[in-house]
A and B are shown apart, each in its own frame.
Chain A
Amino acid sequence: MEGDSSDPHMPRGRILKTRDRFMKFELQGTTINFAQALSRIMTAEVPTIAVDYVVIEENTSNFSDSFLAGRLRDIPLTSRRTTSLCYSSDCPNCNGKGHCPLCSVKLRLNVKCKGKSLHVTSKDLSSSDPAVVPFDFQDTASRGTEILKLRRGQEVDLTAIARKGLGKDDSKWVPTKVVTYFALAKVRINEEMMETLTLEQKKEWVDSCHSPEFEIDPCTQKVVLSHPEEYVDDEEVIRKAEAMGKPGLVELYRRNDTFVFTVKTKGSLKASDLVMKAMDILKQRLRLANPVEDNDTPDQSAGSASHTQDFDEVD
């Protein structure tokens, strides 16, 4: 019975905006469940590297050791190396201790305030691996993420051990700030009724919308929705139409196959890399869920079944 069952969706992607740590894109021709799976994977299941363990040699600052460790764990570290680094729990080299170069990266922080005061930032961390550094390390315009401030004579000397992990395990490994998606709005304007409005009234109606997405075409004086992917439907325009005595002027509904995603990352991964990785991970997860073989053949082909695979019978 191969081939007669469902055909796969063939989604298309359209990138609307992309920056280093931000991306807005549209997925066309898929389902909300797929969008949901993708967004869940982006927040919780894309591995990153974060400070997991801190050894404090010297701390004469005003802050307690645990506070310091808490500051360090929240600094996003560049995580392009995640594929070559293994999880510390199944590291073959150090039996899960998580201290060897195969599964961890050491970051040293050794600062002493000699002047009046000193701002210690993420730029003062020196990493054992040039590929795993605080996300704003190379950014000369940025001062770095502030860790603490020292007074004269105070000193901090510590080693932070960064490991690979999943956002599911702890929030320090979550690569994203925000992942949202919404179904694209579809707007149907009743053109006949729209024509009965004067230009003044049209302007009034267009201005009632919070986001400036409705526009009046200067040539034809028709009202059009210029950027549907920006339009956040708040039903304000419907209420305005009713108040103007023109119910049914516009109909709003949501397409159930097109989704607009907004992804912001903390800095450990580039937004575009994150989306790509999320797809890879979903694929990998599906692969893992696959090894079910069919010993329960339908009646008409019962004779041709050659393999006898046993399944776990669970009571």
Chain B
Amino acid sequence: MNAPDRYERFVLPEGTKKVSYEKDTRLSETGRFTLEKEDHTLGNVLRMQVHRDPNVLFAGYKVSHPLQNKVELRIQTTIQSSPVQAYNQAINDLDKELDHMKNAFEAEMARFTKDQ
């Protein structure tokens, strides 16, 4: 009936930015990233990685409504850093982690098939 199309969950409409950043007007070094067409998969893992940054004072994410396919990630850092820096650093770290894991996995797979 009036259910939204399923592809709307993951197809980014043309002309829409994947990530947008909005600075908080009241607090310094605070901002909110909005990731379009994303869900808990990225929100949760990003928040965790941002938490590992010692300069981060606050990080949290929310999916404001199940029919709105976006994730909002709010980050507050100390004066030594900035939300954008913490965000980019988290993504780079996760990228490195994935690279490492993939290589480790390939090596392990090769070892395992050889043993069999």
Let me know if B26 is at the binding interface, CB within 8 A.
no
Cross-interface CB contact of B53 among A5, A15, A289, A299, cutoff 8 Å: A5
Q: Are B89 and A13 in contact (CB under 8 A)?
A: no
- Interchain CB contact under 8 A, B34 and A314: yes
Contact A5 B81 (CB under 8 A): yes
Give complex CA distance A280, B82 in Å.
Answer: 29
CB neighbours of B20 from chain A (8 A): 311-312, 314
Interface 0/1 of A38-73, CB less than 8 Å to B:
001100110000000000000000000000000000
Q: Say yes or no: B82 contacts A297, CB within 8 Å.
A: yes
B25 → A minimal CB distance (Å): 10
Looking at the assembled complex, report how far the CB atom of B89 sits from the nearest CB atom of chain A, in whole angstroms. Answer: 5
Q: Does A30 contact B (CB under 8 A)?
A: yes
Q: Mark B56-84, 1 if CB is under 8 A from A, else 0.
A: 00000000000000000000000111111
Residue on A nearest B50 in the bound complex, by CB: A6
In the assembled complex, the Cα of A40 lies from the Cα of B40 at a distance in Å of 9
Q: Which residue of A lies closest to B22 (CB)?
A: A314
Residues from chain A with a CB closer than 8 A to the CB of B11 are: 89
Considering only CB atoms, which chain B residue lies closest to A3 in the complex?
A: B89
- B70 CB → nearest A CB, Å: 11
Q: How many residues of A are in contact with the other chain, CB < 8 A? A: 57
Q: Does A166 contact B (CB under 8 A)?
A: yes
Let me know if B112 and A15 touch, CB within 8 A.
yes
In the complex, the answer to whether B41 meets A40 with C-beta atoms within 8 Å is yes
Given A8-B92, A41-B41, list of 19 further CB < 8 A pairs? Answer: A1-B55, A4-B55, A8-B94, A10-B97, A12-B104, A25-B108, A33-B47, A34-B48, A36-B44, A279-B101, A287-B95, A289-B18, A291-B18, A291-B19, A292-B19, A293-B84, A298-B79, A298-B81, A311-B23
23 contacts between A and B (CB under 8 A): A5-B55, A8-B92, A8-B100, A13-B105, A14-B108, A34-B45, A34-B48, A37-B45, A40-B41, A168-B6, A276-B106, A285-B41, A286-B95, A288-B18, A289-B91, A290-B91, A292-B33, A294-B82, A294-B84, A295-B84, A296-B82, A299-B79, A312-B22
